[in-house]
Amino acid sequence: MDSSKSVLVVSAHAADFVWRAGGTIALYAQRGYRVRILCLSYGERGESERLWRQPGMTLDCVKTSRHAESERAAGILGAEIRFFDSGDYPLRLTDETVYEMVVEYRKYQPEFVLTHSFKDPYNYDHLDANDLTLRTLVYAQAAGYPAKGKKLGAPPVFLFEPHQSEQCEFKPQVLLDITPVFDIKRKAMESMEAQEHLWEYYTDLSRRRGSQAVRNSGRKEIKHAEAFQRVYPQVTSELA
Ligand SMILES: [Zn+2]
């Protein structure tokens, strides 16, 4: 347990962090890390189909509902969450959003960062989230950027698995064993009632990545895993 260590997770929409990195978040929260989720948009237009099917639904109602669901899911995973409410379809990232991201990096000095993949032809907000995360990470490293706080070191960035990874040219370079916390991830997924159709999809995916983790490590006890792609080279003194 080391409560001085933190992790930043940048999620374009209210539920992205749950499907794509819920296990990782729960695992590091259990290890005593402060896991902070930065949620750019509620996904009120693009990722709230079930809510919009209810008669008389309004944009404010969808946002309120997604806010509550997302906050509940973060709580189940043991993380804290900040909402930027930057709009949806389109997501609008302003100079203020950029500044606030740099402040987040400098204040929390994360051990590592999680965000979306470089490509996703199904949702361009995911690309904006990727671009914002990486761009502001570089700004936070620049001594001359005018934001308060100590300049950022060089935390590794891991891109979480998109919904249709082949279409997004996603490479599963890192498989993290989430077996001990899978039940927590499942509970968090089930708290996202607007997207019930994804519960089984992401349970199946974690089993598939789990069996690939066994094949690549010989560790037969792994049942569930989450896949990530690295942005920067891994720096190490050991190759085995
Ligand atoms: Zn999304």
User: pLDDT class for 3, splitting at 50, 70, 90?
Assistant: low
> How high is the pLDDT of residue 6?
98
| Residue 80 and residue 36 in contact, taking contact as beta carbons nearer than 8 Å | yes
Query: What distance in angstroms lies between residue 15's CA and the mean position of ligand 1's atoms?
Result: 7
233 CA from centroid of ligand 1 (Å): 26
- Rounded distance, CA 143 to CA 123, Å? 34
Give me ligand 1 centre to Cα 116, in Å: 9
* Strand, coil or helix: 215: helix
Q: What's the pLDDT tens digit per position in 7-29?
A: 999 999 999 999 999 999 999 99
Over the stretch 32-86, which tens digit does the pLDDT of each residue have?
999 999 999 998 888 788 888 889 888 898 899 899 999 999 999 999 999 999 9
Distance 123 CA to ligand 1 centre (A): 7
Q: Is 218 helix (H, G, I), strand (E, B) or coil?
A: coil
Give residue 13 CA to ligand 1 midpoint distance, Å.
5
**115 and 157 in contact (C-beta within 8 Å)?**
yes
Which amino acid type is present at position 152?
L
In percent, the amount of the chain with pLDDT more than 70 equals: 99
Q: Which two three-digit tokens encode residue 21?
A: 């990195």
Q: How confident is the model over 129-144, as pLDDT tens digits? A: 999 999 999 999 999 9
According to the model, what pLDDT value does residue 1 have?
Answer: 44
Average pLDDT, the chain: 95
pTM: 0.95
User: Mind listing the pLDDT tens digit for each residue in 191-227?
Assistant: 988 788 899 999 999 999 999 999 999 999 999 999 9
Q: How far is the CA of 137 from the centre of ligand 1 (A)?
A: 21
